[in-house]
Amino acid sequence: MDAVIAVVVIVVLLGIIAAGRMIKVIQQYEEGIVFRFGQVLPGPRGPGLHLIRPIGDKLVKVNRQIIAMGVPAQEGITRDNVSVRVDAVVYFKVVDPIKATINVYDYQNAISQRAQTSLRSIIGQSEMDELLAERDEVNRRLCAIIDAGTEGPWGVKVDSVEIKDVSLPEGMKRSMSRQAEAERERRARIITADGEFQASKRLAAAANVMARDPAALQLRLLQTVVEVAAERNSTLVMPLPVELLRFFDRFTPGSADIGPATGSAAAVSEPADIGDDEVKALESQARADASTMADAAGSAIENPDGPAAIGSAADTLDIPDVPDIPELSPEEKGDIGTVHHGSRSKHDDLPATGDGTGTA
């Protein structure tokens, strides 16, 4: 009896083990591949409950979900010789479980390695401006490069690739900041110059309108004074242009006899400058004297009797005779060693009196 119970227990245990090996559950996001004695059976198993042989069959489940895998940062040199460091993320999924299981070992690691090499390749083919400003185009190119070698032979479809960050050297960052600052300053100057140009056109048109009627300038001045006075200023500075004075001068009683007005505004007369007439008279007299002297000198040079006449006039001059100067004696000359010199030296030694004579 005990032996029978032991056999029943063994059979039940073997049935439980066989049922555990035969009954397989595949999730909704998975597909199963059955290997029978090492050979893949055609057609993957869908989600649900499946029975396989307990001996000789093996079920391999493959995840069909989209996998997001980060690509480590890769350093490279762009086409315009700029050193950059770029990292990305790859989104892929398995579309053929049989190929993903048989044709490649650990397809996730294979996708990671291919993404890294493709990322370095795309860095060398692109310029720095493309990596920074045209990321959509770079992402499409990178996705096409990775997917070309994975979907057909490996059964893995790369949905998209996104570049996460592009790291630049510090010197390049400073250069780009200076370039951006210079560009913004250029735009600001252009906008300012355009505004000044439009304002100058408006001011020129306003000046043209005011020039037709001088009263408009006075009204504009009064409006400016009102605007300044509205700010509670204790001091008011009012400019008085010359045109304003001329405007008031037209309505004075003596201005009516000056002359008729021409155009839209009457001409304002100015006092005559009487000093110019005297200067002109003196200049004309000086020119007349200079021309007279020039004519006289020319006639004297052309007349051959001129030098003779001058010589005869010199002969008629009455010059008195000058007597000869007598020669002084040695005593009078005061030579050294003479008596006159000794007496002079004695006189020189005497003290001088008040009247200039010496006393012994």
Identify the pLDDT of residue 117.
92
Establish if 145 belongs to a structural domain. yes
* 256 within a domain of the structure (yes/no): no
Average pLDDT over residues 160-170: 89
**318-339 pLDDT, tens per residue?**
555 655 656 666 665 554 444 4
Does some domain include residue 279?
no
- CA nearest 167: which of 99, 56, 264, 78? 78
User: Phi/psi at 357 (nearest 5 deg)?
Assistant: -100, 145
Find the range with the poorest average confidence among 15-29, 52-66, 170-184, 245-259.
245-259
138 with 184, same domain: the answer is no
Q: Which of 2-11, 178-187, 324-333 has the highest mean pLDDT?
A: 178-187
289 assigned to some structural domain: no
Please name the residues in contact with 166: beta carbons below 8 A apart, sequence gap of 6 or more: 84, 85, 86, 131, 132
Query: Looking at the structure, do residues 159 and 77 belong to the same domain, yes or no?
Result: yes
In-domain check, residue 333: no
pTM of the model: 0.50
Give the per-residue pLDDT at 327.
62
35: pLDDT strictly greater than 80 = yes
Residue 130: CATH number of its domain: 3.30.479.30
Note down the domain range covering 111. Answer: 67-168
**Bridge partners for 25 per DSSP:** 49
Query: Does 358 or 206 have the greater pLDDT score?
Result: 206
pLDDT at 190 over 90: yes
- C-alpha dihedral sign at 204, 209, 211, 216: negative
Residues 71 and 148 placed together within one structural domain of the fold:
yes
**Any domain includes 339:** no
Confidence of residue 49 (pLDDT cuts 50, 70, 90): confident
* Residue appearing with tokens 């597909």: 31
Q: Is residue 332 part of a domain?
A: no
How many domains are there within the chain? 3
pLDDT, tens digit, for every residue of 192-238? 999 999 999 888 888 888 888 878 877 887 887 777 777 676 766 66
Query: In whole angstroms, what is the distance from residue 101 CA to residue 111 CA?
Result: 14
